Structure 1
Amino acid sequence: MKNNLLSYGNILLIHALIALAIFVMPFLSKIYALIIPILGLLFVLKTKNKNNEVLLIAAYLVGVEVFLRMTGGNLNNEYIKLSVIFFMLLGMIYSSFTISSFVYWFFLILLIPSILVTATTDILSVDVKKALFFNLSGPFCLAFCAIYTFNRKISFSELQNIVLAMGLPIVSTTAYLFLYNPSVQSVVTGTQSNFETSGGFGPNQVSTILGLGMFVFFTQLILFSKSKKMLILNGILLLVISYRAIVTFSRGGVITGVVMIAILLLLLYFHSSREVKGKLAMVFVITAIMGIGIWTYTSVQTSGLIEKRYANQDATGRVKKDRLGGREAIIEVELKTFFDNPILGVGAGLGKEYRKKAFGVDVASHNEITRMISEHGFLGILGLLILFIMPFVLYYINRSNLYFLSFYVFWFLTINHAAMRTAAPAFVYALTLISVINYKTDNYVKTNTIPD
């Protein structure tokens, strides 16, 4: 156990040092971005993907995406999504895929008509290639990830390794945020999303990945902390990641992380024996205390502004007219666009032109659901129905994936406030399709939760 702690602790330390090195020498971020897929490729070629190593590499890429964007290392906006697609295809070459996953090939086919609409547009201001890549990289990434993971059988410990692989680069992200902005008090003056506390990058995306990190290290805390030292280490990680997520003043990622954790706790409780439920009661109490503690500390550090943010108030305490930061108006325009073009939609990526007409400026969609409907029409609705329903079909057949509902909620909530700007919702969605083998809730809770 001591060696395990040292190994785990050293890996976390390395990721904190990566943040320090890139903060001091920013050019290292691009080198880091190149090294990850290269080493990942060599790793997969060596192992021939015998244990689904492509999922570990893809998970790490998903976790590191926001950090690379934040530090200027991302080669282009779609770099990580394209890299994830590459590793999924590589995994299919080595390990094939089930014929039942054809439904996600059909999902891809449903996207083609709107692509053709865009390709034949006569709007001169539209860069067709850019519009298609920006708006379709997310759905394509999701489809290829889903095809690979569809009913793929892995053990729960292997699934946790995938989850942890996403979490390790989030440690780098968190460490970088402390280096970039060590004093929250000095930069928080209002209740709007804060770029300074988000590493100079988009608070929405930073909040999203940190919210995922909250879930990752909560699972490490309650299910994989086999000693008190490990418990303390994971507890500290959970607290600092939660703190940095909250002070971005972007609510979406934090709320998503909290909901994921709440769902996991409820599932553990309802699927456990009476003996284990007693032990879980202690987990509930400790989780509540940690939550109250970090919220109180954050409130003090922000002079109470964080409470006003979540109450939808401005710095003076006045309630804001809109609750979603102007997203309601965007949704309204996208729905009107759909009703004007109900069959094929306006074309992939062309919704931006309609939003520009409505608002007078370029406005990006934050909601993947209304974007799909407006740009793909009725075919977009069919595609969404596939995405909504298929995970539950597989879950009904095999309910062994403890994280299923948490993963599903992450995908659903994230695409409603941050669309599919990053690869995270696509990949996490695909994890809902995995079939977990050799898993017993009681055994893990008895063995790993709150060491004696």
Structure 2
Amino acid sequence: MIKALIVNKFPLLWIVFHLVLGISATFSPIPMIVWFYLVIFSSIGLLLKKTANPVILLATILYLISFELLARMARTFPFIPYELGKYLLFVGMIWGIIRHKTYGKEGWIMLLCLIPSVFLDESGLVSNVDLIFNILGPINVALAVIVFYKQQITPRQFATLIRLMLYPIIGVLSFTVIKSPSFDQVEFALGANVDWSGGFGSNQVSTLFGLGALLIFVMMINRWTFSGYLLLDGFLLFALSFQGLLTFSRGGMLGAVVGIFVILLYLRTAPYKAKIKFRLPKVGKYVLPAIFIAFSAFYVVNELTDGLLTLRYQGETAGTLQGSKVKSLNTVTTGRFDIFLGDVDLWADYFFTGVGAGASRFLRETMTGTVAHVELSRLLAEHGLFGLIYFLMLCILGWKIMKDHPNPMHRGILVAFFVVAIYTTFHAAMRTFVSPALIGLSLLAIRTPKKNSNIPVAKKKDDSNKVLVPIK
């Protein structure tokens, strides 16, 4: 099945299939479970086949982990693990290290930085579940660095990876649309709204829809095939933005804006010679439609909510409007700033060793008992100096991305993915697959095949749907 998804002979059919899969999940978890294991078992042969190119493995893992949220919504546990992305990414990256040549030595340093905190618990309250919940996200980021870093990939292969991640997000979109109530049944308030996120965590749904909006924009601006129809791609971009804004959870949607801004910045500031050499699209050709779609979605939702959406993005709450609370950085960030300060205070007391993985929420004086939403402060509080080194290694990798890749389009996309990945850790920590997946993608080396290469290239305007590996 993964080969059929990669070849993508019928792009519109696959979009419809995943839309229907999302709708079916509102009635029963069985179709989701059957499809998930059908993809796994039908792809084992390809994954076991000896090849120097890890792209098939990366495609399979990125596609399957993107089902994480839809699997939770469909209540597929225990047949599909609740934290699917964490476990599957961990197994896939380990297999990648065993099976393929890797180059990300920085990832090994990051892994070593995480080891001491596993054997430390200053609170005495951390269970095995707490430990796995907190440590597996950073581990997966380190493993993604090891496996993805400097892996050679062509633009059409990169487009395929993005497309495979989009399919499950489209399924989540149809699920939330079906589950959403009519507008006259809901009274909007200045807080996250689970009614419009399919009854699930609005922050996670918003993060996923923001990611989907960014990925579709990348497909459109590069003229890579998703549905095969530009208007339909534009409609899907609008739908993801519209439904994401309705959740009233700001993090994910702002992430999409940040990512798109970074890409357009690189295109706008590209030297004239680079624009000619790499045939870069005119920024205005895509800026105006993107702005129109984003503004239209925001305007419609704002009108439907009687202006509450604008107040929400201004950081207002019911308390600040009534005068019972003072608008501050903590109210704007919905308590995340207090969590950050509490973690920093813990780091001051346990500078070298930290308090141990998962222990900060039990020892923090502010927002005690609340899990960290800012991964940087959690790394400092729980891993001490080693957590700081871990984060600095990530920053070094980000700097390298900014220096590599002569094509401004490719560099802009990879930097955007890295920036959005780090941004996501500041409002959703590393609890989902988004940060590890985007960091991994940002570290790939996109190389256009030379004309004298032995790899046959289809003579088409858009060959992004072709098989990922060289044809022998």
TM-score in terms of structure 1 length:
0.88
Does residue 299 of the first structure (1) align with residue 302 of the second (2)? yes
Q: 1:139 Cα deviation (Å)? A: 0.9
Q: Give the Cα–Cα distance (whole angstroms) in 2 for the partners of residues 53 and 62 of structure 1.
A: 14
Asked if the contact 1:49/1:91 (under 8 Å) is kept, the reply is no
Task: Report the equivalent of 1:425.
Answer: 435
Asked if the contact 1:184/1:197 (under 8 Å) is kept, the reply is no
Asked if the contact 1:305/1:315 (under 8 Å) is kept, the reply is no
Q: Give the Cα–Cα distance (whole angstroms) in 1 for the partners of residues 230 and 271 of structure 2.
A: 21
Task: Report the equivalent of 1:60.
Answer: 63
Q: 1:59 Cα deviation (Å)? A: 1.3
Name the CA shift for 1:317/1:293 in 2 (closer, same or farther; >3 Å): farther
Q: 1:15 Cα deviation (Å)? A: 0.2
The one-letter code matched in structure 1 to 2:314 is: A
Task: Report the equivalent of 1:181.
Answer: 180
Q: Give the Cα–Cα distance (whole angstroms) in 1 for the partners of residues 178 and 81 of structure 2.
A: 24
| Secondary structure of the structure 2 residue equivalent to 1:293 | helix
Task: Report the equivalent of 1:341.
Answer: 350
Using the aligned pairs only, state the percent identity: 26
From 360, 365, 370, the equivalent of 2:377 is 370
Does residue 152 of the first structure (1) align with residue 162 of the second (2)? no
Alignment of 1:1-80 (within 5 A): 7-46=10-49, 48=51, 50=53, 52-74=55-77, 75-80=80-85
- Of residues 304-313 and 233-242 in structure 1, the stretch that sits farther from structure 2 once superposed is 304-313
- For structure 1, list consecutive stretches of 5 or more residues without a partner in the other structure: 441-446
Q: Give the Cα–Cα distance (whole angstroms) in 1 for the partners of residues 289 and 8 of structure 2.
A: 22
Q: Give the Cα–Cα distance (whole angstroms) in 2 for the partners of residues 80 and 277 of structure 1.
A: 34
Task: Report the equivalent of 1:96.
Answer: 101
Task: Report the equivalent of 2:419.
Answer: 409
Q: Give the Cα–Cα distance (whole angstroms) in 2 for the partners of residues 284 and 394 of structure 1.
A: 24
Asked if the contact 1:343/1:377 (under 8 Å) is kept, the reply is yes
Q: 1:136 Cα deviation (Å)? A: 0.9
- Of residues 79-88 and 183-192 in structure 1, the stretch that sits farther from structure 2 once superposed is 183-192
Asked if the contact 1:52/1:91 (under 8 Å) is kept, the reply is no
Greater fraction of residues in helix: 1
- Of residues 177-186 and 8-17 in structure 1, the stretch that sits farther from structure 2 once superposed is 177-186
Asked if the contact 1:23/1:176 (under 8 Å) is kept, the reply is yes
Does residue 114 of the first structure (1) align with residue 117 of the second (2)? yes
| Secondary structure of the structure 1 residue equivalent to 2:10 | helix
Alignment of 1:33-432 (within 5 A): 33-46=36-49, 48=51, 50=53, 52-74=55-77, 75-98=80-103, 101-118=104-121, 123=124, 125-127=125-127, 129-224=128-223, 230-271=229-270, 273=272, 279-314=282-317, 318=321, 320-321=327-328, 322-355=331-364, 358-359=366-367, 362-400=369-407, 401-402=410-411, 403-432=413-442
| Secondary structure of the structure 2 residue equivalent to 1:24 | coil
- Of residues 6-15 and 80-89 in structure 1, the stretch that sits farther from structure 2 once superposed is 80-89
Q: 1:220 Cα deviation (Å)? A: 1.9
Q: Give the Cα–Cα distance (whole angstroms) in 2 for the partners of residues 417 and 326 of structure 1.
A: 10
Asked if the contact 1:342/1:378 (under 8 Å) is kept, the reply is yes
| Secondary structure of the structure 1 residue equivalent to 2:353 | coil
Q: 1:226 Cα deviation (Å)? A: 6.9
Q: 1:58 Cα deviation (Å)? A: 1.7
Task: Report the equivalent of 2:453.
Answer: none
The one-letter code matched in structure 2 to 1:428 is: L
| Secondary structure of the structure 2 residue equivalent to 1:117 | coil
Q: Give the Cα–Cα distance (whole angstroms) in 1 for the partners of residues 171 and 420 of structure 2.
A: 21
- Of residues 339-348 and 129-138 in structure 1, the stretch that sits farther from structure 2 once superposed is 129-138
Name the CA shift for 1:272/1:19 in 2 (closer, same or farther; >3 Å): farther
The one-letter code matched in structure 1 to 2:141 is: L
Task: Report the equivalent of 2:467.
Answer: none
Residues 315-340 of structure 1: CA distance to partner in whole angstroms, max 9, x if unpaired? 59817441100111111110101001
Q: Give the Cα–Cα distance (whole angstroms) in 2 for the partners of residues 233 and 419 of structure 1.
A: 33
Q: Give the Cα–Cα distance (whole angstroms) in 2 for the partners of residues 132 and 36 of structure 1.
A: 30
Name the CA shift for 1:245/1:341 in 2 (closer, same or farther; >3 Å): same
Task: Report the equivalent of 1:436.
Answer: 446
| Secondary structure of the structure 1 residue equivalent to 2:62 | helix
Q: Give the Cα–Cα distance (whole angstroms) in 2 for the partners of residues 152 and 226 of structure 1.
A: 23
Q: CA RMSD in A?
A: 2.6
Name the CA shift for 1:354/1:32 in 2 (closer, same or farther; >3 Å): farther
Q: Give the Cα–Cα distance (whole angstroms) in 2 for the partners of residues 79 and 168 of structure 1.
A: 16
Q: Give the Cα–Cα distance (whole angstroms) in 1 for the partners of residues 418 and 123 of structure 2.
A: 39
Task: Report the equivalent of 2:468.
Answer: none
Q: How many residues align structurally? A: 431
Q: 1:302 Cα deviation (Å)? A: 1.9
The one-letter code matched in structure 2 to 1:373 is: L
Q: 1:372 Cα deviation (Å)? A: 0.2
Residues 380-413 of structure 1: CA distance to partner in whole angstroms, max 9, x if unpaired? 1011100111232254244443311111111111
The one-letter code matched in structure 2 to 1:386 is: M
Asked if the contact 1:184/1:247 (under 8 Å) is kept, the reply is no
Name the CA shift for 1:330/1:423 in 2 (closer, same or farther; >3 Å): same
The one-letter code matched in structure 1 to 2:429 is: A
Q: Give the Cα–Cα distance (whole angstroms) in 1 for the partners of residues 352 and 62 of structure 2.
A: 36
Q: Give the Cα–Cα distance (whole angstroms) in 2 for the partners of residues 44 and 277 of structure 1.
A: 35
Q: Give the Cα–Cα distance (whole angstroms) in 2 for the partners of residues 86 and 332 of structure 1.
A: 34
Q: Give the Cα–Cα distance (whole angstroms) in 1 for the partners of residues 226 and 347 of structure 2.
A: 55
- For structure 2, list consecutive stretches of 5 or more residues without a partner in the other structure: 1-6, 451-460, 463-472
Q: Give the Cα–Cα distance (whole angstroms) in 2 for the partners of residues 309 and 21 of structure 1.
A: 33
Asked if the contact 2:343/2:360 (under 8 Å) is kept, the reply is yes
Asked if the contact 1:269/1:277 (under 8 Å) is kept, the reply is no
TM-score in terms of structure 2 length:
0.84
